[in-house]
Structure 1
Amino acid sequence: MKKLVPILTAVLLGTATACSSSSGGGDAGGPVELTIWHGQDDMAARSIEKLIASFNKTHPGIRVKSDSGGATADTMLPKVTAAFAAGTYPDIAYMYGSWGAALARSPKVPNLKKYLGGPAVGWDDFWPNTRQTATVSGKVIGFPAVVDDLTVLYNKKMLAKAGLKPPPPDWTWDDFRSYAARLTDAKTKMYGTTWAVSGGEETTWALWPLVWQRGGAILSPDNKKAAFNAAPGVQALTLLQQMAVQDKSVYLDSSPAEKGQKLFESGRLGLFLSGPWVLPDVQAAKIDYGIARLPGTNGDHQTVSGPDNWAVFDHGTRRVKAAAEFLTWLTQPQQQLVWMMDTGSLPTRRSIVKLPGYRDFVKKYPGIGIVTDNLADAKQIRPVTSKYPRVSAFVADAMASVMLGKSDPQSALNDAARKSDALLAVPGQ
C-alpha cells in the first residue's frame, strides 16, 4: 500500500519506447526462458518458489526463473521502472493494483486480452473486482495475483476482560468507537485500535469504506474532480477525529514499519483493521484472535479490496505468450489453494471455495471464511488513474493533520481536494 513516487509515471512512459521489442525473444528452438520478480518474503516467497519449481518440472517448453529483482512488493514499481530504462526488466512482476493505470500507459506492457479466451484460463471465474483491477481502459495488463479485503481482527482476551462480546455481524461504526474506547487503558498502554498516519495508502485505504457506506465517492465519475471532501467524507473523518482526539482510543502509527501490527501481535491492541495477509504472523504470535466483518453504516457494510496483479512485460511475442501460459497455470484453483494454505491469502476465484481442500484452509486459519464472504461487500474499487496515488497522499496528509489534532475535517479535506483538482486537471490518464 505504498504511495507512488510522482516521477515514476513519466519515467514509465519516457523510457519504455526506447526499450520496446517485438522480437520472438530468445532461441526459437529451445525452451522459452522467463524471469519473474515476485517481491515476496518469508513464507510467501517460499510458496511461490515452490509453485514455480512445480511448473518447471511439468512444462519443459518453458523455464521460469524466480528472482526478487532486488525489490520487495512495496518497491517493485520503482525497480521495474529503473529496469525499463536499463533494458533489464523481467517478463513478469508482482504489482500492486493501484499501479495499474500507470503501467497500462507503457508500451512495454502488452495487452493480454487475446490470451484470456477459453476454459483453460477461466477469466470469468475470477472475482469481478480482480478482473477490473487487471483491466485498464480495455487493456489487460496481467493476471490477478492476490485479492484481499478489510475486516476487523479482535483480541478475544482483551474483549472478555473489558466485558465485551465478540462483534456481531450487524455492528456499526458507533459500536466500533465504543469498543475501542472501552478497550483503551493509557496506564497499561493498551489500545482500542490503531491507524497509520505515515502517509499514502496505508492511511487512506481504510477510510474509503466509511465514505462509500455513507454514499460518497473518492473522485467524480470521470476522475476529474475530488469528491472525498463532500459530506460523507467529512462525516467519516470526523468519526476518526473523535476517536483519536477526544477518546484517545487510537494508536497513531507514524512508522513505515507498521507498528500497529506489532501491537496486536503483542496482545496490546483490541481491534485491528487489517486483512488475511497478517494471519500467519498473528498465529505465530499465538494471539487468541477472532475476525469480524467491517462495521456498517445504516446496514451498508461495504469494504475495500486490494487486488494485486502479476503484470506481464514485453520481451517479444514468444515470451509474452509463454508468460500468459505460466500465469494461466499459476492462477488455476489447485495452485491457488497451495498458495492460500501457505500464506493465508483469499481465493482469487469463486470456484476455489468448492474444492475439497478449501475446508482445510478454513480450518487452518480460523475466521478466514468470514473474510472470504466479505468479498461480496467489496463493491467498489479505488479510481483507476495513474494520479490516484498522489491523490491518496494528499488525503493521507489531511487525515494525519486531523487525527493529530492540528486541523478540522472539512478544512483539511478541502485543502486536499484543491491539490487533487489541480493535479487531475493536468491532461493524461
Structure 2
Amino acid sequence: MSRALTATQGRPIRRALAAVTGLALLATGCGSPAGSEQASGPVRITVWDGQSDAAAKSIAKLVARFNQAHPDIKVILESGAATADGMLPKLTAALTSDAYPDIAYLYGSWAPNLARNPKTADLTQYAKDPAVGWADFWASEREAATVEGKVIGFPAVVDNMVVLYNKKLLAKAGIEAPKPDWTWDDFRAIAKKTTDAGSGTFGTTWAISGGEEAVWGLWPLVWQAGGDVLSPDRKKAVFNSAAGQQALGLLRGMAIDDKSLYLDSSPAEKGQKLFESGRLGMFLAGPWVLPDLQAAKVDYGVAQLPGTNGNHETVSGPDNWVVFKHDDRRVKAATTFLTWLTAAEQQLEWMKDTGSLPIRESITKLPGYQDYLTKYPGIEVISTNLANAKRVRPPTTRYPRVSAFVAEAIAQTLLGKADPKTALDEAAAKADAALAVPGS
C-alpha cells in the first residue's frame, strides 16, 4: 500500500453555507478562498498528510519550519482521512467540489486512477528543474509517480518487504539466524519449529481480511518463480500460473498441514501485535514497523526475503505527494514546498523521526546517515534490499479489483475451503472480466 506508513487520523465534514460570502470560503480544507483572495499575499496551500504518531509530529515540525523560512507561502496541514487507506475515496469525493487539497499523500498504486482526473496537476515540466533533482530519486519511485509520461507528484515514501524475526524464539528452538541465501523451504521449516500451540506461539502470520495486506506478500513468491500478476498488455490475469499455484500452495501447507501460520482476520493487524508480544517467530513487514518494535522492546533481526533459485526479489510500494490544480500560483507553491520537503536534508530528519527509508540516493552520503542507521537496528538491511525491488504492482486502474479477487482466493485457500488452483482460477476469471471493461 504502498503499505508504507499507515495512518489513523480523522477529519470532520464541513457544513455548506448558504450566504454568497460564505460560498467563497468553500476552498481547500482550511476555509481559504480558491480564487481571488490568493491573487496577492502569501499563497495558501493545503496538504492532506495522512500520517499518524511519530510521522504526524515530524511532518508538522517540518511544515512549521518551511512556513517560517518561506513567508510568501503558507502551508496548511490537515490529516485528510481517518486512515491512509481511506485517502483515495475521501479525495475522490472532495474532487467533485472545490474542497480538495493542493497536495495529498497517496499510495503509488493509485496513480493510474489519479492521472485520469483533470484536477490532477501535470508536474512533468517541474520535474525537469535541476533544483528538484528528479534523477536522484530511486527508479521505482519515479515510475510510481509517472503515468504514461505524466508526472503527478513527488515521491513521499519508499519501502520494501523483508522478514523480521524474533531472536529469542529462534534461539529457543535451536535455530540459527537466516542466512542471505536462505530459501522458502528454510522459511517454512523455521516457522514450523517456532510454532507452539500450547503457548499460542506461531511461526508467522498471513492476513485473510480481504485487503491488499493479504496480497502484496504473495507477489514476490510469484515473481521469484518466474510468474507475474498480469500479462504485459495488462488485459489478462496470469497469477494463476504454475508459479502462482506454487506460491499459494506453500502458504496452504503452512496453514493446513503445519499449522504454523496465524491467520489474521483483523483489519487492525493482530499479527504485528503477536510479534511485538513475543508470540510470532517471523513477520513479513518493512521499515514502517521498526519504531513500534523498538517501543515494545522486541529483540528482533532483519533478513531479506527467502529466495527461489537464488532470486530474492521483493515487493516495494512507493507512495506519492500528489499535486492538484486550483490555479497556477498554488501549483507552483506546491512544487516549491515539495522540492524543499523532499530535499536530502529534510528527508534525513524525517527518516530519523519515522524509520523511513531514504527516497534519494544522495541521502546515504550525508554526514548524519550513520546516526540514522544506528538508531534503527536492521534498517541498513532493508535499505540495501531496495536493490531486490525490481517490479511494482501493475499500473492499472483495475488493480484494486484484481487485488480483491486474489485476497479472496488466498483466504479461501488458507481456510481450507479451496485448493490453490481452483481458487486462483476463479480469481483470474473475475479479474479478466474486470480488465475487459473499457478504460482499464
TM range (shorter): over 0.9
Q: Is the 8 A contact 1:24 1:317 kept in 2?
A: no
Matches within 5 A, 1:115-126: 115-126=126-137
List runs of 5+ in structure 1 lacking aligned partners. Answer: 4-18
Give 2:104's aligned amino acid.
A
Whether the 8 Å CA contact 2:2–2:317 is kept in 1: the answer is no
Q: CA deviation at 1:26?
A: 4.1
Q: Is the 8 A contact 1:394 1:420 kept in 2?
A: yes
For 1:347 and 1:2, the matched residues in 2 are separated by 15
The alignment partner of 2:335 has SS state of helix
Greater mean alpha carbon deviation, residues 285-294 or residues 61-70: 61-70
Picking from 50, 64, 77, the partner of 1:53 is 64
Match of residue 211 from structure 2:
200
Could you say which residue in structure 1 is the equivalent of 2:391?
Answer: 380
Distance 1:74 1:211, change over 3 A: same
Which residue of 1 is the match for residue 104 of structure 2?
93
- Pairing 1:414–2:425 present: yes
Residue in structure 1 matched with residue 23 of structure 2 by the alignment: none
Which deviations, in whole Å up to 9, do the C-alpha atoms of 1:313-353 show, x marking residues without a partner? 11111101110111011001111111100010000111111
CA, structure 1 residues 2+116, in 2 after alignment: closer, same or farther (shift >3 Å)? closer
Partner of 1:296: 307
Task: Report the TM-score when normalising by structure 1.
Answer: 0.94
Contact 2:2–2:316 (8 Å) recurs in 1 = no
Which runs of 5 or more structure 2 residues have no equivalent in the other structure? 4-26, 28-33
Deviation at 1:24, TM superposition (A): 6.7
1:72 maps to what in 2?
83
Q: Deviations over 1:370-404 (max 9, x none)?
A: 00000000000000011001100000000110011
Structure with bigger RCO (C-alpha 8 Å, 6+ apart): 1
* Deviation, structure 1 residue 164: 0.6
- Counterpart residue identity of residue 405, structure 1: G
Deviation sequence 1:122-180 (CA, Å, 0-9, x none): 10110100110000111111100000000010000001000011100110101000000
Q: CA deviation at 1:69?
A: 2.4
Q: CA deviation at 1:119?
A: 2.3
SS of 1:75's partner is: helix
The reply to whether residue 156 of structure 1 matches residue 171 of structure 2 is: no
Contact persistence 1:25–1:319 (CA under 8 A): no
1:367 paired to 2:349: no
Under a length normalisation based on structure 2, what TM-score does the superposition of the two structures give? 0.92
Task: Say yes or no: does 1:324 pair with 2:314.
Answer: no
Structure 2 residue identity aligned to 1:109 = T
- 1:72 Cα deviation after fit: 2.0
Q: 2 CA distance for matches of 1:120 and 1:69?
A: 28
User: How far, CA to CA, are the matches of 1:228 and 1:134 in structure 2?
Assistant: 25
Matched ranges for 1:121-270 at <5 A? 121-270=132-281
Query: What is the distance in 2 between the residues matched to 1:190 and 1:53?
Result: 45
Q: Distance in 1 between the 2:431 and 2:36 partners? A: 42
Q: Is the 8 A contact 1:213 1:302 kept in 2?
A: yes
What SS does the corresponding residue of 1:309 show, helix, strand or coil? strand
Alignment equivalent of 1:63, drawn from 61, 67, 74: 74
Q: Kindly indicate whether the alpha-carbon contact (under 8 Å) linking 1:145 and 1:310 is maintained by their aligned counterparts in 2.
A: yes
Residue 74 (structure 1) shift: 1.3
CA distance in structure 1 between the aligned counterparts of 2:274 and 2:245, rounded to whole angstroms? 29
The aligned residue for residue 316 of structure 2 is 305
1:350 has 2:361 as partner: yes
Displacement, 1:84? 1.3
CA distance in 2, matches of 1:2, 1:85: 25
Q: Quote how far apart the aligned CAs of 1:2 are.
A: 9.0
Give the conservation status (yes or no) of the 8 Å contact 2:127–2:151: no
Equivalent residues, number: 411
- CA drift of 1:368 comes to 0.4
Residue pair 1:330, 1:336 contacting (<8 A) in 2 also: yes
Decide whether the 8 Å contact of 1:148 with 1:276 is kept in 2.
yes
